[in-house]
Amino acid sequence: MSDQASASAEDEPLTRARLAAEKLLEIRHSLVIASIDDKGEPLVSTCPFARESDDFLVVVSGLAAHGESLARGGVVSVMLLEDEQQTRQPFARQRLSFRCEVQALSAPDARREVFDALHKRFGAIARMLEQLGDFRAYRLRPQEGRFVMGFGAAFSFDGGAVEGMKAVRGS
């Protein structure tokens, strides 16, 4: 086999993984968010999102437990999951996860940009939430990501750009 054919064969799994990860980002509307409360206890919740570049834009009620956690800033983990009804094997369910830096967006223009992005994706509900005083806007900026495509098919990448993913090799 020529070097070019060998490189092409190696690139095929990466290309399939990138396309599958991009599809999850496109078709999923909610993130699973894992954070830590002020006592160091774990929290998990879901949150609809919009994307800007590689960042996730979300709004969360300050009354929600994870809302308090996000307001403190720091880091959270987020995950997008393949639809369970479409998963052939639950142990090999596709999942895309990111470690994200949390940025609270309290400036009126920045807050409006988040609600505008959510309105574009979800419609009028975003305008209603914007009027509620307890909803705060956040930018979740991916620092690193990981995509599990199935058994023996795990990939990692820096930031939120899936085009930079590399296969994770077992030890």
pLDDT digits (tens, 9 = 90+) for 43-95: 999 999 999 989 999 999 988 888 888 988 889 999 999 887 777 777 878 89
Count of the separate structural domains present in the chain = 1
Instruction: List 50's β-bridge partners, or say none.
Output: 57
DSSP, residue by residue, 97-140:
EEEEEEEEE-SHHHHHHHHHHHHHHH-THHHHHHHSTTEEEEEE
Q: Say what the pLDDT of residue 4 is.
A: 52
Q: Say what the pLDDT of residue 6 is.
A: 46
Q: Say what the pLDDT of residue 170 is.
A: 62
Helix (H) or strand (E) holding 33: strand 30-36
- 30-36 and 74-81: which strand pairing? antiparallel
Helix (H) or strand (E) holding 158: strand 153-158
Res 18 pLDDT > 60:
yes
Residue range of the domain that includes 75: 3-167
3-state secondary structure of 24: helix
The CATH number linked to 136 is: 2.30.110.10
Instruction: Evaluate the CA torsion angle 104, 73, 50, 137 in order and state its sign.
Output: negative
DSSP, residue by residue, 46-84:
EEE-EEETTEEEEEEETTSHHHHHHHT-EEEEEEEE--G
